[in-house]
């Protein structure tokens, strides 16, 4: 290790330890918490809250309004038929079951999900059925098939969703883009949405920790006058903590946009661009990775997540702060046209069309795997595997 690299690592460790001690001190001081926490004062004591988010008032519901006894009573005459056992089916289904809700599962027999469900304790003929049978037994049909499969199976499923049942989605995709998906919902049933803001694995892990994931809910069609209440109750039953009001349209546009942007595609592209330049300019793989991904995910992004962007700036050196404050507008200006293109592609249905076409192929799993293999084998992510082994917690 060269003296410069050693000094750099020492400096970096020192700045991280300064950041940590700043964090610890600030965490102890309520006054030092980001102002958003201080201003988000609920206007009602408990349950439904109107919260001022940066000047805009929004309604948020919380799970304390729906204790388990109330949920059990509310759904005592229902059977929740969850169709599909992918990421969301796993998280929502197991949470419902652990909450003592009357839930059964419907998946195609002997497929990957059928086997996974049996491994997780769902019992064929008791709590696990082929899709059509589960729908026939259910009063609330929770459609958690993949979005492409929702479209593909709709001609078979639609006639089974008869008057008096409720149709539930975890994404606005199928009804909002019905010109492409052909999912025209029946006219005589409540149609609602609960969209957890995270993967089904997180829906499950937060539930097991006694916390709840944040979700949004929406009503597409209210026949009974109870659709909204039912959506909120179901959101809590599947493991949500706070539940934000939205519409099917807003949910699907923002979700498709976000996952292609900052949540996944955009951040991956930015990591790659920064890493490639560092490597092309002669930096070692570990240095390029540490300065691009490791410090971001292990030190700085958690600060943004816990206390906010201003706090993260504040926890860093004046050198870092000066440079980052100068450069962020350039990145924003360079990226904004790409984000506008992306939003247009979401709104005009191009992204939906692409997703439907790709994910309807019989071999979609194998094709995804081929592309993920390319990602896995990229130098940056191979380096990440080695760097993770050297983390303090792994020593």
Binding residues: 255, 259, 291, 295, 317
List phi, psi (to 5°) of 243: -125, 120
| Annotated binding-site residue numbers for substrate | 317
Q: What 3-state DSSP class applies to 91?
A: helix
Q: How far is the CB of 26 from ligand NAP (least distance, A)?
A: 32
Q: Which residue is closest to ligand NAP by CB?
A: 86
| Annotated binding-site residue numbers for Mg(2+) | 255, 259, 291, 295
Q: How far is the CB of 366 from ligand NAP (least distance, A)?
A: 13
Name which of 143 and 290 has its Cβ closer to ligand NAP.
143
Name which of 254 and 274 has its Cβ closer to ligand NAP.
254
Report how far Cα 304 is from the mean position of its chain's Cα atoms: 18
Catalytic position from the list 61, 72, 171, 283: 171
How far apart, in whole angstroms, are the C-alpha atoms of residue 206 and residue 195?
15
Non-local (6+) Cβ contacts of 393 within 8 A are none
CB 57 within 8 A of CB 349: no
Size (the chain), residues = 395
Name which of 102 and 175 has its Cβ closer to ligand NAP.
175
For residue 341 the two structure tokens come to 């293109």
- In order, the DSSP letters of 96-154 are HHHTT--EEEE--TTSHHHHHHHHTT--BTTTEE-HHHHHHH-SEEEE-S-HHHHHHHH
Q: How far is the CB of 189 from ligand NAP (least distance, A)?
A: 18
Name which of 108 and 250 has its Cβ closer to ligand NAP.
108
143 DSSP β-pair partners: 83, 169
Q: How far is the CB of 123 from ligand NAP (least distance, A)?
A: 17
Name which of 19 and 237 has its Cβ closer to ligand NAP.
237
Question: How does 76-91 read in b/e, with b if 16+ C-beta sit within 10 Å?
Answer: eebbbbbbbbbbbbbb
Residue 168: which of 140, 138, 133 has the closest Cα? 140
Question: Does residue 72 carry a catalytic annotation?
Answer: no
Q: How far is the CB of 214 from ligand NAP (least distance, A)?
A: 12
CB 58 within 8 A of CB 200: no
Residue ranges that bind ligand NAP, judged by CB under 6 A: 84-89, 107-108, 111-113, 144-147, 149, 152-153, 170-171, 173, 195-196, 199-200
Question: How does 128-142 read in b/e, with b if 16+ C-beta sit within 10 Å?
Answer: bbebbbbbeebebbb
The catalytic residue positions are 171
């Amino acid at each position: 290790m060269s003296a410069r690299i050693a000094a750099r690592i020492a400096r970096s460790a020192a700045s991280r330890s300064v950041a940590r001690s700043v964090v610890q001190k600030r965490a102890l001081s309520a006054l030092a918490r980001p102002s958003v926490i201080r201003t988000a004062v609920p206007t009602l004591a408990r349950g439904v809250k109107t919260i001022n988010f940066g000047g805009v008032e929004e309604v948020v519901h919380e799970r304390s309004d729906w204790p388990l006894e109330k949920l059990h009573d509310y759904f005592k005459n229902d059977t929740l038929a969850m169709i599909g056992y992918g990421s969301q089916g796993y998280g929502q289904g197991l949470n419902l079951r652990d909450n003592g809700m009357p839930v059964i599962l419907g998946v195609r027999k002997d497929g990957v999900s059928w086997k996974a469900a049996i491994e997780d304790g769902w019992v064929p003929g008791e709590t696990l059925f082929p899709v059509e049978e589960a729908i026939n037994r259910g009063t609330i049909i929770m459609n958690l098939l993949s979005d492409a499969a929702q479209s593909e199976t709709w001609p078979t499923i639609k006639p089974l969703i008869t008057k008096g049942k409720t149709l539930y989605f975890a994404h606005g995709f199928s009804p909002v883009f019905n010109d492409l998906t052909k999912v025209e919902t029946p006219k005589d049933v409540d149609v609602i949405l609960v969209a957890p803001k995270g993967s089904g694995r997180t829906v499950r892990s937060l539930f097991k920790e006694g916390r709840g994931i944040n979700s949004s809910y929406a009503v597409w069609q209210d026949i009974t006058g109870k659709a909204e209440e039912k959506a909120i109750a179901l959101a809590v039953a599947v493991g949500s903590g706070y539940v934000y009001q939205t519409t099917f349209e807003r949910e699907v546009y923002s979700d498709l946009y976000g996952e292609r942007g900052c949540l996944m595609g955009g951040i991956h592209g930015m990591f790659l661009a920064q890493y490639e330049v560092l490597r092309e300019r002669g930096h070692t793989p570990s240095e390029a990775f540490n300065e691009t991904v490791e410090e971001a995910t292990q030190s700085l992004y958690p600060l943004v997540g816990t206390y906010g962007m201003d706090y993260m700036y504040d926890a860093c050196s004046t050198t870092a702060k000066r440079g980052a404050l100068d450069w962020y507008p350039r990145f924003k200006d360079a990226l904004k046209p790409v984000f506008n293109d992306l939003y247009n592609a979401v709104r005009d249905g191009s992204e939906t069309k692409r997703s439907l076409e790709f994910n309807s192929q019989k071999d979609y799993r194998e094709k995804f795997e081929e592309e993920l293999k390319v990602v896995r084998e990229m130098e940056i992510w191979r380096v990440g595997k080695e760097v993770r082994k050297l983390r303090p917690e792994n020593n």
